[in-house]
Structure formats: C-alpha cells, structure tokens
C-alpha cells in the first residue's frame, strides 16, 4: 500500500507538473520564412513568415533578434489611402491561432543590415515566444516578384 | 406664321450647332463628368546629380511619378519594381515615359543615397530630393499626404506615413491618371497603354 501511495503521489505530481509546464518550443511552428533583398543604398529589409500556435496554450511573440540586423515587428495598415507603419511590442497567438507576416501587411523589419541581402542568402532569426519557447528560424532571401 | 418658321429655323440651327460641338465626346451623365483633376503644378527639386529639376522638366514626354522613401522596406521597393517592369512591358510606348521617384524623407534620402537606390530600378528613373520646403511644395501640388512620425522603442527614430499613388502625367506635365501603389506591373502597363495611345 505505501508503494501504491508513493506511486500515485509521484504520478499525481508528474501530471500536475506537466500541466503547468511551459508548452514545448515546438508549440509554435514557423513556416514559409523568407525575406526580400534590401535595395542597395538602403539598410532596411522586410521578412515574412507564417506563425502557427499548435498548442492548447496561448503564446506570444515577444522579441525577435538576428546577428545580421536589428529586428522589429511592424504592422503596415492602410486607411483612406494613407499607409502607416507601426512597431509592435508583441504578437499574441491564442491556442490554435495563426499570424501571418506578409507583403503589404505586417512584417519583421530588418534595420541597419550589416550587409546587403541577395537572393538565395540565408539568415537566422531568433523568435522568442516567451513561455512557449524560442525558435531559431532560418529565413531564405527570395527575389522580389 | 413667319415668326414660327423663323423660331423653328433658329432652333434647328442652334440644335445643330450644339450637336456639332458635342459630337467629339458623349454627353456627361450622372456617373461621368469632365474636367482636369487639380493634381500637379509647380515644384523645384534636385535630381541625384545635383541638377535642378522642376515641373517644366516634365514637359515633352509622359511621366510616371511615385512618392516614397528609402527606409520603406516593403511597399516602396515593390511599387518601384512594378513601375520598372511595366515600362519594360510597354516597349516602344514606354520609351516616352519618364519614371520619377520623389522622396518624402529628404533628411535621410540625400542625393547620394537616392542615386544608389534608384540605380536598382529602371535605368531612366529620376530620383528627386530637396529641402523640407521643396518637398512640401511638390507634395501639396500632387495632393500627397505625408507625415514624419516619431517611433518609440524602435531603432528607427521616425518613419514616414504617406499616401502611395502612382501618378501618370501627360506631355504637358498635366495630370492624366493615378494608380494604387499595389497595382500589378501588367495592369499598370495595360492601363498606361490605353491612356497614352490617343
């Protein structure tokens, strides 16, 4: 009986721990990560990707960084023909939700690029999803269509 | 009776005269009208060689004018590339069109910066920059809204929020049409071709 009690206690603790454990880093999938080249003469570029929260917990992109540039999350909205670019401090991702960084809309802005980006180049961006973990995501540079 | 005949004749003559005048275009309806948009006008800036460039430099050829800034990472390069491709698709028609990029951010977009920037687009593209006052003058002439907006918590100290239309001007430097910034190169080429064909 004591062994059973011990076993049950350990099992209960384990279940409790797993329930409160942070979602694994694989909770947020990052797909179709790419960037367009910067225009030489300008040290900024835009990167895009699809984020999917595949967990049952809310996640939040709180920070992005790279060794090739300062990375910021920006919204691009158009109202009455006026285009407004606005930095965002975070991107919430509810359980099961998706968020798209896409041309003409939100983007990851690369600022003060250390070198020009050319088609077929690759670079890594560290995406920090807080308690949902971090993703070291490879981005490929594609030619602008 | 004579007066009636005279009135009828005068009426017929006036109607004929009116028809003759309007025979060149259909009459205005509730959905269409005629007149020139109040877009365009006097301005003076410098091109990337430091040479003065004014509204008189637009005369003698068509012009395709876009307003933006080089710290725009997404929309502006895409629009300028679409303009480039549209002119290439227009072939001989495109040879008579001058592409122009006007910066709304003269602080950062100096002649040197613009010179390098536009070299990646159409070879005939003209880059224009100037003083804050000169920039305001051309923006006002073309009804371009722009706003230098400070950014907190950003490596960029500011951005330029702005309207992003592409303006087609005729050989007199007068307004012909405008297009949305996200028009495709093919659609832009088709619309321009139809507008400048006659």
The pLDDT tens digits for B10-21 are: 656 555 444 444
Q: What's the pLDDT tens digit per position in B46-57?
A: 999 999 999 999
A vs B: CB pairs below 8 A: 79
Distance CA(A102)–CA(A74), nearest Å, equals 11
* pLDDT at residue A23 in the model: 46
Per DSSP, B61 falls in state S
**Chain B contact for A85 (CB, 8 A cutoff):** yes
Distance CA(A86)–CA(B104), nearest Å, equals 18
Q: What is the DSSP annotation of B4-19?
A: HHHHHHHHHHHHHHHH
Q: Which of B194, B190, B191, B195 minimizes the C-alpha distance to B175?
A: B195
Single pTM value for the model: 0.82
Distance CA(A39)–CA(A37), nearest Å, equals 6
Tell me the C-alpha to C-alpha distance, in Å, between residue A96 and each of A29, A133, B64, B90, B159.
11, 16, 45, 47, 33
* pLDDT at residue B117 in the model: 96
Q: What's the pLDDT tens digit per position in B75-111?
A: 999 999 999 999 999 999 999 999 999 999 999 999 9
Q: Among A41, A70, A110, whose Cβ lies nearest the Cβ of B70?
A: A41
**Coil, helix or strand at residue B104:** coil
**Chain B contact for A2 (CB, 8 A cutoff):** no
Q: Reply yes or no on whether the pLDDT at B2 is more than 80.
A: no
Q: What's the pLDDT tens digit per position in B156-190?
A: 999 999 999 999 999 999 999 999 999 999 999 99
ipTM rounded to 2 decimals:
0.80
* pLDDT at residue A22 in the model: 47
Distance CA(B92)–CA(B129), nearest Å, equals 29
Phi/psi for A133 (5° steps) reads 100, -175
**Coil, helix or strand at residue B180:** coil
B73/A144 Cβ within 8 A: no
A72/B154 Cβ within 8 A: yes
- Rounded to the nearest 5 percent, the helix, strand and coil shares of chain B are 40, 25, 40
Token pair belonging to A101: 């960084």
pLDDT band at residue B22, thresholds of 50, 70 and 90? Answer: very low
**Coil, helix or strand at residue A99:** strand
Low-confidence ranges of chain A (pLDDT < 50): 16-23, 25
Residues of B in contact with A76 (CB under 8 A): 74-75
């Amino acid at each position: 009986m004591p062994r059973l009690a011990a076993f049950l206690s350990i099992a209960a603790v384990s279940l409790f721990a797993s329930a409160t454990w942070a979602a694994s880093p694989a909770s947020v999938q990052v797909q179709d990560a790419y960037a367009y080249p910067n225009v030489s003469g300008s040290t900024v570029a835009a990167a895009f990707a699809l984020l999917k929260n595949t967990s049952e917990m809310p996640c939040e992109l709180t920070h992005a960084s790279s060794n090739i540039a300062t990375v910021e999350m920006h919204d691009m909205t158009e109202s009455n023909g006026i285009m407004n670019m606005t930095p965002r401090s975070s991107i919430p991702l509810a359980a099961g939700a998706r968020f798209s960084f896409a041309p003409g809309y939100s983007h990851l802005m690369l600022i003060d690029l250390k070198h020009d980006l050319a088609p077929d180049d690759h670079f890594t961006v560290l995406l920090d999803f807080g308690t949902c973990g971090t993703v070291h995501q490879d981005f490929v540079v594609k030619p602008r269509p | 009776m004579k007066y009636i005949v005279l009135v009828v004749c005068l009426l017929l003559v006036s109607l004929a005269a009116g028809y003759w005048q309007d025979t060149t275009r259909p009459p205005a309806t509730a959905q269409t009208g005629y007149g020139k948009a109040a877009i365009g006008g006097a301005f003076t800036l410098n091109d990337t060689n430091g040479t003065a460039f004014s509204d008189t430099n637009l005369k003698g050829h068509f012009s395709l004018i876009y307003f933006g800034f080089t710290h725009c990472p997404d929309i502006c390069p895409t629009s300028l590339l679409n303009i480039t491709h549209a002119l290439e698709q227009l072939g001989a028609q495109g040879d008579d069109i001058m592409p122009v990029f006007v910066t709304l951010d003269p602080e950062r977009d100096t002649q040197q910066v613009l010179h390098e920037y536009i070299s990646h687009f159409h070879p005939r593209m003209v880059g224009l920059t100037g003083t804050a006052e000169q920039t305001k003058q051309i923006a006002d002439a073309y009804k371009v809204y722009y706003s230098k907006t400070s950014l907190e918590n950003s490596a960029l100290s500011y951005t330029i929020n702005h309207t992003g239309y592409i303006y087609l001007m005729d050989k007199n430097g007068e307004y012909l049409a405008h297009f949305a910034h996200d028009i495709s190169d093919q659609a832009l080429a088709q619309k321009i071709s139809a507008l400048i064909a006659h």
